[in-house]
Amino acid sequence: MSFAARFLALPDLFPARPAGAPCGDETIDLVLPGGPYRIQGLSSRQSSDLSERYGELCRPSVARVEIEVFEAGEGDFVDIDTRGWRYELDLDHAPDRVRIAGLRFMAWIGLEPRLRGALWTSVAGGVRWTELFENYFRILVAYRLLELGGVLLHSAGVADDEGAWVFFGHSGAGKTTIARLSQESGRRVLSDDINALHRDGDTVLVSKMPFAGDLGRAPGGFGAHRLRGLYRLEKGTGNRVSPLPAGRAVASLLSCAPFVNQDPHRLEALADRLEELVSDVSIGTLAFDLSGRFWSALRETA
């Protein structure tokens, strides 16, 4: 099946560039790693819904990345019965842009000469609107962080007074479990699903993202934390940290860097960024059990 045919009535007419009638004249700025991001062309309802969804992250700022929102007709999209259906976006990669199609929206990320975005939708507001915007926005943020030497990472992020610790691994490796155990020990969970790793000079930072997992949805706590360690998870008996060679670490992290790791034009750049990250932080493999005593093992190696 050709790109976007699942979602668009006329996929061959996918817009080649940002153009169309804006949904309205409202604008909001989101202050997140890689931003601020300015979303413009919103209806008053769309703006209100995003402001409610992102809360304290919405504040007037000098934008670095702009996203335009345009109207699309209901007839532009295919009616889909989503019962029992696994939802996956359609992505089309090119050297200078990424095209995205999903339920009731189509979108574009321009990568050259500067990163910018555009989204077309027939959804006027409500939960469907905030969900589809976030489906798109995650992808744009992943590309923006890569551009700045960082990465959006499927991982569990935990913070304490000394900084942040990030745990990664395949689905079922124990990210949510280790986040829950950390929370029970009095530490703060940034997310048990996705975190931003980015740089401030030579320092690698970890930031909570608003699209956190189930254990990271408490309001606030969006400041950056110095990354203390990066650990691939293994469930086991006892609690121990073992060395993780840089090559294996990069290979494991590649599978945990969503969206960009599907782009053949940027896979090499992503691998380079990950190689730089693992050279600057403590990294290893953490085997842990349910006792919660793995923190002692971590502190001995970080």
User: Quick check: 6 and 80 in contact, CB under 8 A?
Assistant: yes
What pLDDT, on a 0 to 100 scale, did the predictor assign at position 198?
A: 93
Please write the tens of the pLDDT for every residue from 188-240.
999 988 999 999 888 999 999 988 667 666 666 788 999 999 999 987 778 88
Rounded Cα gap, residues 299 and 302, in angstroms: 5
Instruction: State the total domains in the chain.
Output: 2
Please write the tens of the pLDDT for every residue from 244-281.
999 999 999 999 999 999 999 999 999 999 999 888 88
User: Residue 6: inside a domain, yes or no?
Assistant: no
Which structural domain range is residue 123 located in?
11-147
Q: Give, in degrees to the nearest 5, the angle at Cα 268 between 265 and 270.
A: 95
Rg of the chain's alpha carbons, rounded to an integer? 20
User: Residue 4: inside a domain, yes or no?
Assistant: no
Looking up residue 281, the CATH number of its domain turns out to be: 3.40.50
What pLDDT, on a 0 to 100 scale, did the predictor assign at position 211?
A: 82
C-alpha distance from residue 208 to each of 1, 36, 149, 222, 224 (Å) = 37, 15, 17, 5, 7
Q: Of the residues 92, 120, 147, which one is the last residue of a structural domain?
A: 147
C-alpha distance from residue 274 to each of 148, 209, 270 (Å) = 12, 19, 6
What pLDDT, on a 0 to 100 scale, did the predictor assign at position 220?
A: 63
